[in-house]
Amino acid sequence: MLNMHWQKARDTLRQWRDDNLRSSEEIVEIWQDVLVNYVHKLGDEKWLVYEQVCLAALDCHRLDIAQECLQALDAQFPGSLRVRKLRAMEFEALDRYEDALKLYESILQHDESNSVIYKRKVAVLKAQNKIPEAIKELSDYLKKFMSDHEAWMELSELYLKEQDYNKAAFCVEELILYNPHNHLYHQKYAEIQFTIGGFENMELARAYFAQSIKLNPRNMRSLYGFFLSASNVAASPKCSALKKKENLKFAAWAGLKISTRYQDQLCDDSQVKSVQGMLGLLSLNPTT
């Protein structure tokens, strides 16, 4: 039981709204223990609080609280698109996915520019494991909102679920174009190329792992990927003598870096043993 004055509780929720913090469990607790008995003192701000508490209750699957808030909002704002969105989210929580999709469609008929609703539709399709349908929905969304970085990353992940690696790579290419200084985008692209495999893709993976390391030298995942891709290129029968020598040096450099990081306790023992084993197979001397 919280021991908090109602004004302090109101100010806390107001600050979380301003900071765009979800804090769902804390919001539900504040509502139950304090504000539910003082909602009449909040003036018009109570409608924002009802909306905030409703979202938090849905996050925590407290459908009783969510229903209470929705009833109050419905009575005050009949036909409101924002209330319809909350009702659709309640349907999602109840696994009434078709009802949720119908409501989202009705909202889009009145507001085609509502990006949140498009994303909710994708979430509903994902929840039903309808990945191809989710891909189509998200692709249509990106035709309207091409600069949405989160949507491009989500679409990439959906393509990866379908093992459509080339299309997943295309999505990450878009992200790199928008933000070429984000080391995680370069790492993601390198990992996809590494998964596709083949000599050319392995070289491409090595190059993008290298760029990721350049942007963030402490990215251990990229460093390990750089080591593996350089090792694979060096071991390929397609690799020329000159390229093999070059990639052996790359692998040796990366292996030394990984071992050094391990000494700083930034890398797990299994990775180091794997690296050391591969260094031995490639007849490398990490000190050169």
pLDDT tens, residue by residue, 234-287: 999 999 999 999 999 999 999 888 888 776 555 455 655 565 555 555 544 433
Residue 174: the pLDDT is: 96
CA distances, 275 to each of 36, 108, 218, 251, 278 (Å) = 59, 53, 17, 9, 5
Dihedral (CA of 150, 98, 88, 79) sign: positive
Share of the chain above pLDDT 70, in %: 91
pLDDT tens for residues 144-159? 999 999 999 999 999 9
DSSP string, 47-97: HHHHHHHHHHHHHTT-HHHHHHHHHHHHHHSTT-HHHHHHHHHHHHHTT-H
Q: Nearest CA to 287 among 243, 261, 249?
A: 249
pLDDT tens digits along 68-100 = 999 999 999 998 999 999 999 999 999 999 999
By CB atoms closer than 10 A (0-12, 13-18, 19+), residue 129 is exposed
What is the reported pTM? Answer: 0.82
